[in-house]
Every structure is written in C-alpha cells, then in structure tokens.
Amino acid sequence: MMRYLALAADYDGTLASDGAVYPETVAALERLVASGRKLILVTGRILPELLEIFPHISLCELVVAENGGLLYRPATKEITLLAAAPRPAFLEEVQRRGVQHLSLGHIIVATRVPYETVILDIIRDLGLELRIIFNKGAVMVLPHGINKATGLTAALARLELSPHNCVAVGDGENDHAMLALSEFAVAVSNAVPMLKETADRTTIADHGRGVIELIDDLLADDLAAAEQKISRHGLLLGRRSNGEEVTLPFGRRNLLVAGTSGSGKSTLATGLLERLGEQGYQLCVIDPEGDYDNVPQAVILGTAQNGPSLNEILTALANPQTHVVVNLVGLPLHDRPAFFLGLLHKILELRAAGGRPHWILIDETHHLLPRDGNPTAPGLAQDSSGLIYVTVHPDQIDPPILKTVDLVFALGQSPGETIANFCRAVGRDIPPLPSADLERGQTLMWETNSGSGPEVLEIAASTSERRRHKRKYAEGELPPDRSFYFKGPAGQLNLRAQNLLLFMQLGEGVDEKTWQHHLEAHDYSAWISEMIKDESLAQIVREIESRPGLPAAESRRLIRSAIEEQYTVPAGGIEPSST
C-alpha cells in the first residue's frame, strides 16, 4: 500500500530555477504521475503568469495559485476562488501611492520590498483585514487566514485525500504553513535556513535536482527508510518511572494490545485512538462486543439489534474527517468472522486507492483472525501497517499476522507470560522480562525489533479518563488528608473543602483576614498542585498570589475565574470543561 499519494510542490526556487523547470525535472514529475500519485502545484504566482512560463501544467492534478487564494484544475481549466477579491479602494490607493512592481491576481496583490511599509500604511488607514506574507524579496498581500496550507487543504479535500498522505516540498518563508500541514515535509537545499530547521528532510541537491532526489526516493520505497528519522509526529504512549515521555515511533507500525480480561486493554486502546484522532488520522474500529462507544467524534454503525451494512461503512469512510466504529453485536456470533473478512477486504481496497483509513483497530482479534486461519483470507492484512490488534490470547491469532507486530503492550496479570506466549507463537526468543508486577494504569511495552527488552510504562491517560479525574476533584469527596482547610491567621477556623466547588463556596464566605492569610502563604496554589494535581491551574493561582497589594475581593474573583476556565460551573455543580 502506498502511503504518500500526493506531492505538493512549490514552483519558484523549488521546481524552477529562474522561472524555468528543466527537462530532467519534468521527466521526474512524469514518473511521479505515472506511479499513480497526484502532483499539486502550490505557488504564490498568479495563474496567467504560471500558464505562460510552465507549459507542462497538465501534469498537475490541481494548482493552488496566489499563495492559497485560487484553485485551478488544468484538465478542465476550472478556476475556484478560495477568498474574496481585494476591495477596489485598496487597489486604487496602492496605485495612487506609487507602489511599483505590482502584480494583481484574482485574490492576491503582490509587490516587492521595500514597498511593504507603504502597503502596511494603506491597510491601517483603510482599516482592512489583510495580511502581508514575505517570500524572499516578494511582498504578497492576502486576506487573513489565506496561505499555502489553506489552499493545499482545499486541493486535498477536492481529491478526497488527507494531509497525512501528502509530501510537501518548498524553499521559501511562505512554504512553512504548507510543510507543517503535510505528513512529510521537505526543504530543497537552497531553501531559507528556517525552513530547513523545521522540515523533516533537506535534500542534498538544490532546486529541481532536489525534487528529483525526493521523487526517486518516493518511487523506490514510498519514503519508508526516510521515515525512521522523523520525530515531528510523536504520539504519546506513556511515561517511564523517571517521568520521561515515550512516544510512538513515526512510520509504518502495527501494534498488539494483549492481556487478561479487565486489565485495561480497551482503556489503553481508546487513549491511543483518541490521540491519533486528535492528530487528524482517520480511524476505523472493528468492535465485536460493543466496547468502543466512547471513541471521540466517531460514527457508530450497528446496534445491539441490527448489524451494520458494508455500504454504510464504506460511505462513512469516504469522508477523510469521519472516524467509524463498526459494532458487530447485532450480528449472529457465527456470522461475524465472514462479515469481518469481507469488510476488511473492502477497507484495504480503500486504503490502496486513497491511503485511508490510516489506523484500523481489530478487537477480539483471536476470534476474527484465528490461529487456525481462514481459507478465504490467505495473507490478509499481512502487508499492511497502521493496525492495532486487541486480544486476550495473542497465541491464538494467525501467526503470519503476529509477525507483522512492531510494538506489544502487555497488561494485567502475568504480562511477562503474555509476551512469552507472543514469542512462542511467532517462533522467536523470549526477551529478558521484568520481574515486578504491574500496578493499575501500567503496561509492559516491547518494541519487537529494537534489540532491547520490555519496559514498564505508566499509560498516558485519555481525555475521558482525565475528565473522570477532574470530576472527582471538582465535585467529589477528597479524603480529609487531601482536603483544603480554611484555618485563618490564628487557627481559629477549621472549614474543610473536600472539592473545588466547596473551596470556592467557602472562599467566598470566609472573612478577609482568613482569605489573605492563605493567599499570602501560597496555600491555595500548593493545594491545587499537590492535592488536585492540576499544575497548569496551580501556576495561574500562584501568579495571582504573588501580585503585591491585590485586594481580597479581586484575588477571590481572579482565582474563581481561573477555576471556572478549567471547570465550568452549572447550576448543579462543577463539571469538567470541554477544553
């Protein structure tokens, strides 16, 4: 399966040298298109100029011109404006004030330095919502919110592709947003230093020769080797005992989540899905037992009474923004494996055509892809990546499937034995295993090809898990030794606040001396940090406590506001905010 289905390329300074694209670069672009990938040209030039100087425009599936302001399809000559045209009053004033080197497009107004100062004065005098974008010596004026990334987003949406299936290459300041949007960001060697610093890769060659270098690697292995050096897309997995964060290595990966019933497999898997979804990867969950109804922003297809249909699943997955949970509970138990295999075939066909869904989770994998195999599915999913297998019995999964696993998470009782069973099933040596038992919220993680043994991780909590903790701190019952006590300067009070709601209520009612006593001692921030364990809120409160001469009424208001920003307060109490 190809991961990178589109190349978004800047024109001047990237494909072109002095405005011209050399024949060897054109030949490389032809090879790219012949491979089935789409070429998207993303440029600050206005369209008529581009059509005049680039006769091979038909190689492009789409052109984003005017630095994101316009979309052009060469095959049909269709033009789509992505922003409003500049106001006539602005154009008149630009010409009246003698701005030279003007280039006027449908959306963009371009000039060169040093006329940016005149342009800024005009924008200010007319009160316009325009911004200036610099690219080497060029000065481009566009509506706010329009740049190469917004234009590329529109182009990819038109092609039903995701930015996670796109490589972008550029050389100038105005290419930053486009490269940040893409899954794999490349700067040619003649690029400005800041672009090189943020790119995933800088080519050895410059201009079009650098693009040829990139295309050759795309065609050789779909950039699989180059992915090993990327750290930009880190996905938090958990923390070591010393607090060090551990992230999922970027690239093609398959994961196994295994452990005894009730060990937290679904919690870990849901946390992974949540963070993948937050990064814009499309998710598809095969859910035989209805355990994944809490995947954020997912469409759940199938109910306890009725199974899903292939058509509705594939229709939902056609939208790159839609996550899908396929609930199989409504299907008879004996029908589920056959339905699953038919669905998986279709999903892998979707992936081959459009690179999505990016991640597929298969729960109860030992039932759906069992060790004794299925004659209708030889080799199914063996050559795919982006799969998360969840099971109680890893040794009962089809061994060729297990051999594709890069990362194992073992949970619950005897996690070392779970990893040992995995190793026996795939015929490999058992690594040295930690002897300590896991505590709740921990997993034994093993990167199978790392050459090192498993390690214990504190699992990164999902947002739903964090919200449950927030609710406890907001309106639950903290034990006496973790509650806050308003005592006052002489200890004459002993008012207990066992949650944030009571803390605010009591804080509003205590006398000024009592409030100020705890404020000046930094007791409020200390309690929030140590007992509520909300360090971001504690830091805000700490800054309020440190303000000299702040009246008691004002400090109460500021601290209450800080709490309410983290925890919304309805009529019946506090609930965690959606943020």
Report the distance separating Cα 131 and Cα 143, nearest Å.
6
Task: Assess whether 106 and 163 both reside in one domain.
Answer: no
10 Å CB burial of residue 273 (0-12, 13-18, 19+) is buried
Task: Assess whether 429 and 507 both reside in one domain.
Answer: no
Number of structural domains in the chain: 4
Output the DSSP codes for 167-181: EEEE-SGGGHHHHHH
26: its two tokens: 């054109």
Task: Assess whether 387 and 436 both reside in one domain.
Answer: yes
Query: pTM for this one?
Result: 0.76
Among 231, 256, 279, identify where a domain stops.
Answer: 231
Half-sphere exposure for 344 (CA within 13 Å, toward CB): 24
Fill in the DSSP letter of residue 560.
Answer: H
Report the distance separating Cα 132 and Cα 144, nearest Å.
9
CATH label of the domain that carries residue 396: 3.40.50.300
pLDDT tens per residue, range 211-227:
999 999 999 999 999 98
Task: Assess whether 457 and 504 both reside in one domain.
Answer: no
Half-sphere exposure for 327 (CA within 13 Å, toward CB): 18
Output the DSSP codes for 126-151: HT--EEEEEETTEEEEEETT-SHHHH
Task: Assess whether 421 and 295 both reside in one domain.
Answer: yes
pLDDT tens per residue, range 303-326:
888 999 999 999 999 998 899 999
Task: Assess whether 337 and 373 both reside in one domain.
Answer: yes
Among 436, 461, 486, identify where a domain stops.
Answer: 461
Whole-number pLDDT of residue 471:
53
The residue to which tokens 């089935």 are assigned: 36
Task: Assess whether 276 and 398 both reside in one domain.
Answer: yes
Whole-number pLDDT of residue 377:
55
Task: Assess whether 267 and 136 both reside in one domain.
Answer: no
Domain that holds residue 49: 1-79+147-231
Among 119, 145, 171, identify where a domain stops.
Answer: 145
Task: Assess whether 152 and 141 both reside in one domain.
Answer: no
Crossing angle (nearest 10°) for helices 535-545 and 552-566:
170
Task: Assess whether 480 and 560 both reside in one domain.
Answer: yes
Task: Assess whether 115 and 177 both reside in one domain.
Answer: no
CATH label of the domain that carries residue 107: 3.90.1070.10
Task: Assess whether 322 and 451 both reside in one domain.
Answer: yes
Q: Which residues of the chain have pLDDT under 70?
A: 373-383, 462-476, 533, 568-579
